[in-house]
């Protein structure tokens, strides 16, 4: 009796047929069956977001989904973010803003950020922080990640943003102020 | 001496380039390993795979303290797909040898016992057996078939319990020893009987009684901090290949490949020379990846099975069995005069080491109050074993807990004196020549400059308005690691350059090394390719840790580039039929000293190396000295908080850190270190803690319940880079990675006091704890409050 199931899916624009065990997570299938090791395993409980992929437009922790559930889905992983040798603007901005230190969380942040910008091309700082709250980064304190996503949104919209260090801190007036205002309003 | 090269010998003061203008250092180029890391191509430890590879998993003790009476692996061995099983019986007995690992000192006997339990399991999660099988699922199934007969023993979970004379003893051979300094083996203190307190260090100077008598105000407080984890996102991993000729290759993510080699050799009792360690990209370490867990286990499983064996921890294993930092207890008494002068300080500290000796109790004592000049001082610090995982280094190990205690007391004293907390610290600030708590005087330091930078910041100059809001400041101190590094600079025939070091890159150090080479050689930074070598391709290089990599490996890289120039100068002289001293080098160009128009660029010369004697390889090694001898780092942090009056949840509204960085090589990555350190400090202050139940079993072994800050919990973190050049470094660099985590806990506590009027003496300052304190302050209990609301 065969232990494996045939799964037909689409990954990074390519139709893919694969064999996997029903108990294997999508993350395990990506990493161990397809050798797409860009998606990272940090917790296997959906708490760290390092395995985030985009499925039919939505960010998903691939560790929380079974490989067999990928049937018929359109999946984008970090390996599918760039077009050939042209980096996606998010990748470029993460580099320009030094948004990664060790880099293990970076694929997940890029995918969550892509899902955000695809549905909300002009997010506020609070919206960016809310959208990325499912991704843990232990190195950066998130400051340079939030700036990169802000800058990427601006670049996608054709707006120009000042370069390094001159994106104003939105701390006091921006995010916190915005959230406090909402809190006080109710 | 090489032309144009300052002489560089260890930590001797040297003629340096500190004052010159830089072309590349201080700029912000894109990191050379960046594209690999944003495209998912960079290979971290768990990304390695080899043909025929097996997967290993570890069986872990469900008891905090238990005698292991027997282990029966026969049923597991019969499961199809299982290829090898090991238990403690398969490991050699290892004698206790003290090995320096980064900032911590490791006893190899206890390291071996931590890697695999023998007679006793000493904490929930302690490894007792391991299996290699054809898949990780089969290996996990096999673990369930291993039968271990445990005799549970009473666990000891806190330093306070463990220090009681009638406490259950973890390790019969331990005695309390009094040490005069960090590496002192010490002498027996008290009776010759088993103790859970293997280490006691004391620093003392002046006359405490007289100092307190001269004080107008004395504040005495007791503090507790919870054990917290480093929280790296990448779990520990190792892929081991034991070959038929007895050679062992290990691929793993580690902060120090050479440490893995040394420690694995000692645990397996095989020659170091038989082991090659290939460091993978590393997904965070923060000190936690300076030691070994899986490496010897994977090696033995590979030896038994004859196949490559890969082992990767899951998150529960990381939290249960890899080093958190110590939970601590502190008692602090400090006296000050009305004008703000501190007259005396008495500090008592206890650090939980986990199941084996080796907490950062000594550096904790060496760092607390180090930012201040205090004449009358006594610090006692204790190493205490408890039934918890053996602690590992965590960013500035030891300093955050002791600083939290003292910086909170200083805030109280500043208030009693009616002096602004920054001004209070300024009036007592250590300067060049001030003795550290351990005795030696500071060289040139920039502590007061960090205070001044925060005082002048837009943050501090902007009044904080609104109810339940408060502002707090605190400062901190940490050493710079020195230790050993090696570097090789290869000049390629097209004029490009590769630089090989043994320092794994956790946060952008490849960029820093490439920038140093480009600066010295006068080439574009894009023309320099940094490479991290394995243990056979580069000389001894100590851990990426201890704030030492940009600093000490940077020294080696600087020297290796100078060495390459010296050799290239000889080649240019040969081309022109001159003596080397008749050729000078500047800005990437060799010129004849005589005004004869002879000139050649480095790039042109690189193309003529074959004709002038062959390739040019610059090389250098350094021993930058003992930890702390090469430099010191200070930081001051200011935070604004808002406390929710109903839930006592604390929101960080604004945070600023000023740190003396010596010289920022790549300011983006320096800022990143400061921001990350503050973020970890905020987690330590507000959320993070280990919850053990009555039986000593960890209850929050996942990242939902062990809650680290998300980006929704933090504001932007403003950084102020204070540059007081390090006199011991050719470029003025100071280590920047760690000290930023020292001040935030006290800064947050001091801000909470300003916001709601209660002093917090316990970390984390989570909503239940803070709410209880707020109600205590109003003389109501939480229960009364609930029923009144009810």
pLDDT band at B102 (very low <50, low <70, confident <90, very high): low
User: Looking at chain A, how many residues does it have?
Assistant: 186
Q: Which residue of B has its CA nearest to A174?
A: B715
Region B218-245: what's the mean pLDDT?
A: 98
CB contact (8 A) between residue B716 and residue A170: yes
CA distances from B213 to B209, B222, B335, B412, B495 (A): 6, 21, 9, 19, 70
Domain match, B404 and B454 both? yes
The pLDDT assigned to A1 comes to: 60
Phi and psi of A20, rounded to 5°? Answer: -145, 160
Chain A CB contacts of B286 under 8 Å are 138
Does B458 score more than 60 pLDDT?
yes
The CA-based dihedral angle spanning residues B610, B613, B614, B617, taken in that order and rounded to the nearest 10 degrees = -130
Domain chopping of chain A, boundaries: 5-80, 89-179
Instruction: Tell me if B30 is assigned to some domain.
Output: no
- Same structural domain for residues B425 and B497? no
Q: Which of B623, B638, B669 is the last residue of a domain?
A: B623
Contact B556, B486 (CB under 8 A): yes
Residues B691 and B578 in one domain: no
Q: Mean pLDDT in chain A? A: 89
Contact A180 B642 (CB under 8 A): yes
CATH number for B417: 3.30.365.10
Question: Fold match between A5-80 and A89-179?
Answer: no
Q: Return the percentage of chain B with pLDDT > 90, whole number.
A: 91
Instruction: Quote the number of domains for chain B.
Output: 3
- pLDDT class for B380, splitting at 50, 70, 90? very high
Q: What is the mean pLDDT of chain B?
A: 94
Question: B42 in contact with A at a CB cutoff of 8 Å?
Answer: yes
pLDDT at B609: 97
Q: State the pLDDT confidence band at B782, using cuts at 50, 70 and 90.
A: low
Strands (E), B662-737: 717-722
CB contacts under 8 A, B 668-697 vs A, are 668-669, 671-673, 675-680
Residue B511 structure tokens:
């960029």
pLDDT of residue A183: 36
Share above pLDDT 70 across residues of chain A, in percent, rounded to a whole number:
85
Task: Give contacts of B 263-292 with A, CB under 8 A.
Answer: 281-286
B199 three-class SS: strand
CA atoms in the 13 A half-sphere facing the CB of B726: 33
Residue B734: inside a domain: yes
Identify whether the C-beta of residue B536 lies closer than 8 Å to the C-beta of residue B494. no
Q: Is residue B55 located within the same domain as residue B77?
A: yes
Query: Last residue of some domain: B573, B591, B623?
Result: B623
Co-location of B268 and B140 in the same domain:
yes
Chain A residues with beta carbon closer than 8 angstroms to that of B285: 102
Question: Is the Cβ of B209 closer than 8 Å to some Cβ of chain A?
Answer: no
Residues B638 and B734 in one domain: yes
Please tell me the CATH superfamily of domain A5-80, with its number: Beta-grasp domain (3.10.20.30)
Beta strand B528-532 with A74-76: parallel, antiparallel or unpaired?
A: unpaired
Q: Do A176 and B718 touch (CB under 8 A)?
A: no
pLDDT in tens, A143-158: 999 999 999 999 999 8
Q: Are residues B572 and B673 in the same domain?
A: no
In terms of Cα–Cα distance, which of B183, B211, B210 is closest to B199?
B183
- Do B618 and B662 have their domain in common? no
What average pLDDT does this structure show over B587-605?
Answer: 95
**Residue A138 to residue B708, Cβ atoms within 8 A:** yes
Residue B462 has pLDDT above 80, yes or no: yes
User: Is this model's pTM higher than 0.80 or not?
Assistant: yes
Instruction: Name which of B29, B233, B464, B643 to mutate to probe chain A: the one with the most chain A Cβ atoms within 10 A of its Cβ.
Output: B233
Q: Is residue B248 part of a domain?
A: yes
Three-state SS for A68-92 is HHHCCCEEECHHHCCECCECCHHHH
8 Å CB contact of A41 and B312? yes
Q: Residue with structure tokens 């680290």?
A: B708
- How far is residue B149 CA from its own chain's centroid? 38
What is the pLDDT, as a whole number, of residue B10? 34
Tens digit of each residue's pLDDT (9 = 90 or more) over B532-570:
999 999 999 999 998 899 999 999 999 999 999 999 999
- Please report how many Cα atoms fall inside a 13 Å half-sphere around the Cα of residue B444, on the Cβ side: 13
Question: How many whole angstroms separate alpha carbon B55 and alpha carbon B314?
Answer: 13
Residue pLDDT, tens place only, A57-115: 999 999 999 999 999 999 999 999 999 999 999 999 999 999 999 999 999 999 999 99
B300 shares its domain with B384:
no
Q: Residue A179 pLDDT > 50, yes or no?
A: no
Helices (H), B315-398: 315-321, 361-367
Q: How far does CA B161 lie from the centroid of its chain?
A: 28
Of B623, B651, B679, the last residue of a domain is B623
| B164 domain-assigned | no
ipTM: 0.95
Residue B654: which domain range? Answer: 328-481+627-777
Q: Is the pLDDT of residue B219 over 90?
A: yes
Determine the pLDDT at residue B788: 63
CA B780 to chain centre: 42
Nearest of B379, B422, B461 to residue B208 by alpha carbon: B379
Which tokens belong to B747?
Answer: 């800064």
The pLDDT of residue B39 is: 98
Q: Is residue B332 domain-shared with residue B292, that is, in the same domain?
A: no
The answer to whether B233 contacts A103, with C-beta atoms less than 8 Å apart, is no
Q: Is the CB of residue B463 less than 8 Å from the CB of residue B521?
A: no
pLDDT in tens, A25-50: 999 999 999 999 999 999 999 999 99
pLDDT of B11 higher than 60: no
Least confident of B5-19, B223-237, B339-353: B5-19
Give yes or no for residue B436 having a pLDDT over 90.
Answer: yes
CATH of the domain at B282: 3.90.1170.50
Q: What is the mean pLDDT of residues B111-126?
A: 98
Say whether both B670 and B716 belong to one domain. Answer: yes
In a domain, B281, yes or no: yes
One domain, residues B585 and B698: no
Q: Which CATH architecture has domain A89-179?
A: Orthogonal Bundle (1.10)
């Amino acid at each position: 009796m065969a232990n494996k199931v045939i799964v037909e899916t689409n990954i990074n624009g390519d139709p893919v047929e694969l064999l996997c065990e029903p108990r294997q997570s999508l993350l395990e299938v990506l990493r161990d069956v397809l050798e797409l090791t860009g998606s990272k395993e940090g917790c296997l409980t959906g708490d760290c977001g390092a395995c985030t992929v985009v499925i039919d437009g939505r960010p998903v922790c691939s560790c929380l989904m079974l490989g067999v559930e990928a049937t018929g889905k359109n999946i984008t992983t970090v390996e599918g973010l760039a077009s050939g040798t042209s980096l996606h603007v998010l990748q470029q901005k993460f580099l320009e803003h030094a948004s990664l230190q060790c880099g293990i969380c970076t694929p997940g942040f890029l995918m969550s950020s892509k899902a955000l910008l695809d549905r909300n091309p002009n997010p506020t700082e609070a919206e960016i922080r809310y959208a990325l709250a499912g991704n843990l980064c232990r190195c950066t304190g998130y400051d340079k990640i939030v700036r990169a996503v802000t800058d990427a949104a601006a670049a996608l919209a054709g707006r120009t943003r000042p370069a390094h260090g001159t994106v104003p801190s939105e701390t006091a007036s921006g995010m916190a102020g915005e959230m406090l205002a909402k809190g006080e309003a109710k | 001496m090489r032309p144009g090269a300052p002489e560089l010998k260890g930590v001797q003061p040297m003629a340096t380039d500190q004052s010159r203008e830089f072309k590349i250092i201080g700029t912000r180029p894109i990191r050379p390993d960046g594209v690999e890391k944003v495209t998912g191509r960079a290979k971290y430890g768990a990304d390695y795979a080899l043909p025929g590879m097996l997967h290993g998993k570890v069986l872990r003790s469900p008891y905090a303290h238990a005698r292991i009476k027997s282990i029966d692996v026969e049923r597991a061995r019969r499961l199809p797909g299982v290829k090898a099983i090991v238990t403690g019986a398969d490991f050699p007995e290892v004698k206790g040898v003290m090995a320096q690992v980064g900032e911590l000192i490791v006893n190899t006997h206890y390291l071996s016992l931590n890697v695999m339990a023998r007679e006793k399991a000493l904490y929930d999660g302690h490894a007792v057996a391991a299996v290699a099988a054809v898949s990780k699922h089969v290996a996990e199934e096999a673990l369930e078939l291993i039968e271990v007969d445990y005799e549970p023993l009473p666990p000891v979970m806190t330093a306070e319990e463990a220090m009681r004379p009638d406490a259950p003893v973890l390790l019969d051979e331990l005695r309390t020893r009094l040490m005069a300094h960090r590496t002192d083996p010490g002498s027996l203190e008290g009776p010759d009987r088993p103790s859970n307190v293997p280490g006691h260090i004391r620093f003392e100077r002046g006359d405490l009684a007289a100092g307190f008598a001269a004080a107008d105000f004395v504040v005495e407080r007791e503090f507790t901090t919870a054990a917290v984890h480093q929280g790296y996102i990448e779990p520990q991993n190792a892929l081991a290949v034991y070959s038929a000729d007895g050679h062992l290759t290990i691929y793993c993510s580690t902060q120090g490949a050479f440490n893995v080699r040394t420690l694995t050799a000692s645990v397996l009792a095989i020659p170091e020379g038989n082991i090659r360690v290939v460091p993978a990209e590393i997904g965070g370490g923060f000190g936690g990846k300076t030691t070994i867990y899986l490496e010897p286990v994977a090696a033995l499983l590979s030896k038994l099975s004859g196949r490559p064996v890969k082992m990767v921890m899951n998150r529960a294993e990381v939290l249960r069995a890899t080093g958190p930092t110590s939970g601590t207890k502190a008692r602090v008494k400090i006296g000050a005069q009305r004008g703000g002068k501190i007259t005396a300080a008495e500090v008592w500290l206890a650090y939980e080491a986990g199941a084996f000796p080796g907490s950062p109790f000594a550096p904790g004592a060496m760092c607390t109050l180090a930012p201040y000049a205090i004449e009358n001082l006594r610090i006692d610090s204790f190493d205490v074993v408890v039934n918890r995982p053996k602690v590992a280094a965590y960013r500035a190990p030891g300093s955050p807990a002791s600083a939290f205690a003292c910086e909170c007391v200083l805030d109280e004293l500043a208030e009693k004196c009616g002096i602004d907390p920054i001004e209070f610290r300024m009036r007592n600030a250590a300067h060049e020549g001030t003795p550290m708590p351990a005795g030696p005087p500071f060289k040139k330091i920039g502590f007061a400059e960090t205070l001044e930078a925060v005082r002048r910041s837009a943050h501090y100059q902007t009044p904080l308005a609104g109810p339940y809001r408060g502002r707090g400041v605190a400062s901190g101190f940490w050493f710079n690691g020195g230790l050993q590094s090696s570097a090789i600079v290869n000049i390629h025939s097209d004029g490009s350059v590769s630089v090989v070091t043994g320092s794994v890159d956790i946060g952008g150090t490849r960029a820093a090394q490439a920038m140093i080479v480009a600066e010295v050689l006068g080439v574009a930074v894009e023309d320099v390719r940094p490479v991290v070598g394995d243990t056979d391709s580069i000389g001894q290089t100590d851990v990426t840790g201890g704030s030492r990599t940009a600093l000490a490996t940077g020294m080696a890289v600087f020297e290796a580039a100078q060495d390459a120039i010296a050799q290239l100068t000889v080649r240019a002289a040969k081309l022109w039929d001159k003596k080397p001293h008749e050729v000078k080098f500047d800005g990437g160009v060799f010129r004849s000293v005589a005004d004869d128009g002879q000139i050649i660029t480095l790039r042109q010369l690189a193309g003529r190396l074959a004709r002038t004697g062959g390739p040019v390889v610059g090389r250098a090694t350094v021993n930058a000295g003992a930890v702390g001898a090469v430099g010191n780092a200070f930081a001051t942090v200011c935070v604004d908080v808002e406390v929710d009056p109903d839930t006592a949840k604390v929101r960080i509204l604004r945070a600023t850190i000023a740190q003396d960085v010596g010289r920022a090589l790549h300011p983006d990555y320096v800022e990143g270190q400061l921001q990350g350190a503050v973020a970890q400090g905020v987690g330590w202050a507000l959320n993070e803690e280990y919850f053990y139940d009555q039986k000593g079993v960890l209850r929050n072994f996942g990242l939902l319940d062990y809650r680290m800050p998300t980006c929704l919990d933090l504001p932007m973190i403003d950084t102020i880079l204070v540059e007081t050049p390090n006199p011991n470094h050719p470029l003025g660099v100071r280590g920047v990675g760690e000290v930023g985590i020292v001040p935030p806990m006290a800064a947050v506590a001091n801000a909470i006091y300003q916001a709601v009027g209660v002093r917090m003496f316990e970390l984390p300052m989570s909503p239940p704890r803070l709410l209880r304190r707020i109600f205590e302050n109003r003389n109501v209990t939480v229960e009364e409050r609930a029923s009144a609301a009810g």
